[in-house]
Amino acid sequence: MSDTSIDSAGDSLGQSELEDIGSNPAPADPIAAVIGRRLARRAALRGLFGAVAAGASSERLVGQALAQPSQSTLGFSGLPHGDVSTEAVAEGYEIQTVIRWGDAVLPGAPAFDPSRLTAEAQALQFGYNNDYLDYFPLPKGAPGSEHGLLVVNHEYTCPELMFPGLGDARAARRNGTAAQVRTEMMAHGVSVVEIRRQDGRWAPVPGAAMNRRITAETPMRVSGPAAGHKRLITSEDPTGTCVLGTLNNCAGGNTPWGTVLIAEENFNYYFGGRGVEAGVQAAAYKRYGLVPDAMFPWGRHIPRFDVAKEPNEPNRFGWVVEFDPYDPQSVPVKRTALGRFKHEGCTHAIAADGRVVIYMGDDERFDYIYKFVTARAWSLSDPAENRNLLDEGTLYAARFHDDGSVLWLALVQGEGPLTPENGFHSQGDVVIEARRAADLLGATPMDRPEDVETNNVNGRVYMMLTNNSRRRAEQVDAANPRVANAHGHVIEIIPPTAPGRLGRSLVDHAATTARWELFLMAGQPGIHSGATYHRGVGGDSGWLSCPDNCAFDSKGRIWISTDGAPEAAKVADGLYAADTQGEGRALTRRFYSAPEGAEVCGPLIGPGERTVFLAIQHPGEGQGSSYDKPSTRWPDFEEGMPPRPSVIAIVKKDGGTIGS
Paired with 13 in beta bridges are 5
Distances (CA, A) of 103 to 116, 123, 169, 203: 14, 11, 24, 11
Distances (CA, A) of 167 to 113, 159, 528, 642: 19, 9, 35, 13
| pLDDT for position 565 | 81
Q: Is residue 15 part of a domain?
A: no
Q: Is residue 279 part of a domain?
A: no
C-alpha–C-alpha distance, residues 95 and 650, integer Å: 5
| pLDDT for position 1 | 46
Q: Is residue 550 part of a domain?
A: yes
Q: Is residue 123 part of a domain?
A: yes
Residue 132 per-residue DSSP state:
E
Element (H, E) at 154: strand 147-154
Distances (CA, A) of 657 to 76, 472, 488, 589: 11, 45, 30, 17
One-letter identity of residue 351: A
What stretches of 300-399 show up as alpha helix (H) in DSSP?
Answer: none
Q: Is residue 293 part of a domain?
A: no
Q: How far is CA 401 from the centre of its chain?
A: 25
The 3-state DSSP class for residue 441 equals: helix
| pLDDT for position 44 | 37
Distances (CA, A) of 493 to 96, 195, 459, 464: 35, 35, 9, 12
C-alpha–C-alpha distance, residues 319 and 324, integer Å: 17
Divide the 660 residues of the chain into consecutive groups of 10 and give the mean pLDDT of each group: 34 42 71 61 42 29 37 94 86 98 97 97 98 97 96 97 91 90 98 97 96 98 98 98 97 96 97 95 97 95 97 98 98 98 95 97 94 97 94 96 92 98 98 98 92 96 91 50 80 92 86 95 89 87 94 98 84 95 96 95 97 97 91 95 98 96
Q: Is residue 540 part of a domain?
A: yes
Q: Give the model confidence (pLDDT) of 509-568 as tens digits.
A: 999 999 999 999 999 998 888 898 998 997 777 999 999 999 999 999 999 999 988 876
Q: Is residue 280 part of a domain?
A: no
Neighbouring CB atoms inside 10 A of 417's CB total: 13
Number of helices followed by number of strands (H, E) in the chain: 10, 37
Say if CB 542 and CB 586 are below 8 A apart: no
| pLDDT for position 481 | 38
Paired with 372 in beta bridges are 358, 395
Q: Is residue 268 part of a domain?
A: no
Supply the range of the domain harboring residue 457.
Answer: 26-262+318-652
C-alpha–C-alpha distance, residues 108 and 111, integer Å: 9
Look at the chain and report how many structural domains it folds into.
1
**Strands, E assignment, 324-415:** 333-335, 343-350, 355-362, 365-367, 369-377, 393-400, 405-410
C-alpha–C-alpha distance, residues 177 and 122, integer Å: 16
